[in-house]
Amino acid sequence: MESERQDAVVVVGGGVIGLTTALVLAERGRRVRVWTRDPAERTTSAVAGALWWPYAIEPVELARTWALRSLDVYEKLAASPEVTGVRMVEGVLGEADLDQAVAWAGARLPGLRAATAEEYAGTGMWARLPLIDMSTHLPWLRERFLAAGGVIETRTVVGLAEVDAPVVVNCTGLEARELVPDASVRPVRGQLVLVENPGIRTWLVSTDAAGETAYCFPQPGRLVLGGTTDEDQWSLEPDPAVAEAIVRRCAALRPEIAGARVLGHLVGLRPSRDAVRLERELLPDGRVLVHNYGHGGGGVTVAWGCAEEASGLAAP
């Protein structure tokens, strides 16, 4: 009985970081419960555009290690896109440094090349990357976790100290600001527009001279248009003026988007931090607390690499 108790883990947080971490732990033989306030479909992760690429995440070197490990997993999952939600899709990353990208990922992404003038009216990089449909991927993560013997409980956690388990893994994202507490965790608001896809099959990310980003991601049944990076903004209400600007910027890059029927609007708050916090803390009562939060806009990109490291840190 004691060995079972010592093997128990509670993962707090049910977004992509929490579910992936819980899944890795469960498949390594741990008894895992996920405590989450909201179902995965109502977490910030559900709003992610979800193109694999290290985006606004520090520390850079560790993020690249986590990202490349995650790439290994996503490439395998892409063999069953209808089930996992993961596809390998080609597209252009505008204003990217090709030499830098080749230096750190060229061996894993041998198809990296400069975009042609027909593909992008500027300096861009052509790549074939994982594009994840979170409306499929999050339920898939949940079902695979449950199949591994995991348990999901709907719980609103007021403080991490109340979690009665020998090992607690903190994957609470923006909520870590209050639960740890960690005032360095801040929201970066992102707004998206969902439109009918007029036939676009490749993705595109572009940043203009003013630093505004436009992107379009072809997902099953829709085209996802973005985006915004509004620091310290907490509103979850879509702004009609912002939505119009997003469509306008995307249509300037892909004219066929102009006039596409709008299907919906989404807003998410990225859990930004100067650097991801992925570390083990020994509590005064001898319990283990592992922190895995602060991934900003790169949570999907590094989820598997971070989950495997967090699992190692969660040894009782």
Q: What is the mean pLDDT of residues 272-283?
A: 97
Amino acid at 305: G
pLDDT band at 314 (very low <50, low <70, confident <90, very high): very high
pLDDT for 28 = 97
pLDDT for 1 = 33
pTM equals 0.96
User: pLDDT tens-digit profile of 44-94?
Assistant: 999 999 999 987 788 989 999 999 999 999 999 999 999 999 999 999 999
The CATH number of domain 1-85+133-184+274-316 is 2.60.40.10: no
Dist CA 94 CA 316 (whole Å) = 45
pLDDT band at 2 (very low <50, low <70, confident <90, very high): very low
**pLDDT above 70: residue 5:** no
User: pLDDT tens-digit profile of 30-48?
Assistant: 999 999 999 999 999 999 9
Q: What is the mean pLDDT of residues 2-18?
A: 83
User: pLDDT tens-digit profile of 124-154?
Assistant: 999 999 999 999 999 999 999 999 999 999 9
pLDDT band at 161 (very low <50, low <70, confident <90, very high): confident
Percent of the chain with pLDDT over 70: 98
**pLDDT above 50: residue 3:** no
**pLDDT above 70: residue 269:** yes
Average pLDDT, the chain: 95
Q: What is the mean pLDDT of residues 105-110?
A: 92
Dist CA 138 CA 142 (whole Å) = 6
Asked if 50 and 137 touch (Cβ cutoff 8 Å), the reply is yes
Q: What is the mean pLDDT of residues 257-270?
A: 97
pLDDT for 4 = 43
pLDDT for 36 = 97
Asked if 225 and 215 touch (Cβ cutoff 8 Å), the reply is yes
Q: Domain residues of the chain, as ranges?
A: 1-85+133-184+274-316
Q: What is the mean pLDDT of residues 187-192?
A: 97
